[in-house]
Structure 1
Amino acid sequence: MPIRVAVATDDGKSLYDKLFHSAKFFAIYDILGKSPTKVEMRVNTRRESKSAASVLEILRDCEVLIAKRFDSKLKELVEARGIITVETTKDDVESAVLEVAENISRLSE
């Protein structure tokens, strides 16, 4: 069964460099083994919300969230729900997803 991942981005190629919940889009990937597959670009309809947690409504099918930075309250809430947050220094969306796929694959060996 694939693991669904959301990556904060404004253009689909580069990671958004501010807080996760304020990105324009989320690049959605499914990871099965070491092979991530891009599923869609999801518009962040909660971007202007005063509540960072409201972004979870549009990402409820995701098990891993990747960003440069997370709001500390959102990170705490997300992790309490069993969703993994990954803060990365990678600039490229695909590189960040590949890194997560490799780490997940290594853990399942």
Structure 2
Amino acid sequence: MKKIISLSAAAILAALLTSAAQAASPQAPDATGSNAVAVDTAEVAMVVSHSSAHVRKDPNTKSPVLATLKKGAKVDVIAKTPDGKWAHVKSGKVDGYIALALLKAA
């Protein structure tokens, strides 16, 4: 009986700590209205693997295109979105988002 109570108490404590950590984490909604937050990664060099790739202001296909990069163009990946579909990149003076499916390792 004590094991069941201990496991239940541990589960409740884990749930409370998780919700407290989420409440303490400052997350501003992005332009799409979601609470997506970029996942920091070490800067990684990648290249455009398709004939071209649009660099967008926000990580969605409805966002304005800031630039179009040609195949082989190098970008520095700063972070990726939590869903793993977009990369926050810098290339020269351009700072925006490219779909990860359009990039490959340099």
TM-score range, shorter chain: under 0.3
Larger Rg: 2
Query: More strand per residue: 1 or 2?
Result: 2
- Structure with more relative contact order (C-alpha pairs < 8 Å, separation 6 or more): 1
Query: More helix per residue: 1 or 2?
Result: 1
Q: How does the TM-score come out when normalised to structure 1?
A: 0.25
Q: How does the TM-score come out when normalised to structure 2?
A: 0.26
